[in-house]
Structure 1
């Protein structure tokens, strides 16, 4: 009791107020960026495709496992953007501004987390609200990396929509004032286990966004192949092959982090509760998520699965991740009910 009271009196209310203000500012910045990305996606021009021509999907094409929308392997002609490897998105001014505003939002996100930690004098991911905000920060960081490294600005809308939804849920329903953590989280392991989970989730968020975009692009290529007219945002997406690669690379990035997080969590559980594994719902679904992503990587490495088949496995893993995050916390009771 003395320890808890001491922690409560140590709260810097002024810093906590700054942190709360930054939440509104970063949501506003992300919303503007999402709006600008959406405009660029809908109206921005694309450069002419080089090395045009049609290739035979199912006859050595690497656009994905199956030319049809259902993942079959029929030999049909599919338009491929053969530019290497970024599909050459146009330098539309709105996209550049959107990227800049996203950077501003990201910096506000970092500042919000930092001021929250300083206000409470602890690691700032000790409850669901803080965890969501940290996940959004890592998701945006992963997107910015993809935008710079792979010229993947077209993922901006697909990433920022779930980020804004999560932040809205966090601000409306998950918010809690800066304060001490529950005793079980008062450990240096929170900086190890939870940080790994946050970083992995950020990578998986971008992978999931790229996978969903892949399905849209795959369907678009199929429509073009059968002579249907395609317009709107779908017409301006890059090749499905590129989106498949981006999704895969972020799973490759997130999987070892998730693996480390699961192992670190088991070690922490042994220290806190005297056992490595106790069939707690959060433990079970964390492991299920790990198994699905492991199956995804195994299928790509051994069976050579690409495109639709691999994408659906990755999306199942992403669904397990989201259920582990939201569903487990509110549908089951367990030792992780606070996290």
Structure 2
């Protein structure tokens, strides 16, 4: 069994977990929530196994490197980071309804990687610019940051839904309170901001090693900086002006839009990061 097959199976496991979380939320069934959590853990184990096997396959092909060098591989790691981060949040805070918005994001990342006809799962040699020990540090930090922003995005959607549909008598949804959703969103944004900052720093060091300059206003670099400023503005506004609630949720959603453009949109533009579209 090769890594691509394992990861394709993992896609459907994540899909099953997402469906179970949504069903548990809609029908208020704790038993479904517990099954959903176990299914999510199974998806993570499959994701780790597929990622590790793909890494081993690169050595079998004589081009050994971490499988983080193209769009397919980055999506696989993105899905893994989202799922792991969400399951940690659920285990720590005990709010399984968040899985109804978080686990579908992991599923969509894997589905796009595994099922899109425009993305190849073929293992390829590293481009010259990618042959650096900074590859793992840069990509992992960036995508843990992206995953935290993805979870914050899901929490923000839940916050807006809770505010829209809740009433003094309660809507009957087993959702965290707006206060809890707002605080968790803030924590995820802080985590994502720290890792994105680390990703930008390691990327700058890597760029100096590969191209002889720390910063060159490449489209990916520029949009990474724009994304960083959006989340920095949100954190500053919360600290200095007490931004909470709806404004913070809307800003979080806008920030994740910038993340998606940084990840996917700039691949349509010419630049040194164009390998990301492979």
2:17 corresponds to which of 24, 28, 33: 33
Q: Residue 144 of structure 2 aligns with which residue?
A: 199
Aligned-residue offset at 1:175: 2.6
1:333 corresponds to which of 254, 270, 273: 270
Asked whether 1:18 is paired with 2:6, we answer no
Q: Conserved in 1, the CA contact under 8 Å of 2:82 and 2:105?
A: no
Q: Residue 69 of structure 2 aligns with which residue?
A: 126
1:145 corresponds to which of 88, 99, 102: 88
Asked whether 1:166 is paired with 2:109, we answer yes
Asked whether 1:178 is paired with 2:162, we answer no
Higher helix share: 2
Gaps of 5+ in 1: 1-16, 46-91
Q: Residue 218 of structure 1 aligns with which residue?
A: 163
Q: 1:24 to 1:176 in 2, by over 3 A?
A: closer
1:83-139: CA deviations, max 9, x gaps?
A: xxxxxxxxx111001100100000100111111111112111010110011011000
Aligned-residue offset at 1:230: 4.3
1:261-272 mapped onto 2 (5 Å cutoff): 261-272=199-210
Aligned-residue offset at 1:317: 1.1
Determine helix, strand or coil for the equivalent of 1:174.
coil
In structure 2, how many angstroms separate the alpha carbons of the residues matched to 1:239 and 1:274?
Answer: 50
1:240-291: CA deviations, max 9, x gaps?
A: 1111111111111111111011011111111111111111100000000000
1:24-63 mapped onto 2 (5 Å cutoff): 24-44=8-28
In structure 2, how many angstroms separate the alpha carbons of the residues matched to 1:152 and 1:127?
Answer: 34
In structure 2, how many angstroms separate the alpha carbons of the residues matched to 1:252 and 1:237?
Answer: 22
Aligned-residue offset at 1:238: 2.1
Asked whether 1:115 is paired with 2:53, we answer yes
RMSD, aligned CA: 1.4
Q: Residue 299 of structure 1 aligns with which residue?
A: 237
Determine helix, strand or coil for the equivalent of 2:275.
coil
Asked whether 1:309 is paired with 2:247, we answer yes
Determine helix, strand or coil for the equivalent of 1:179.
coil
Larger radius of gyration: 1
Q: Residue 61 of structure 2 aligns with which residue?
A: none
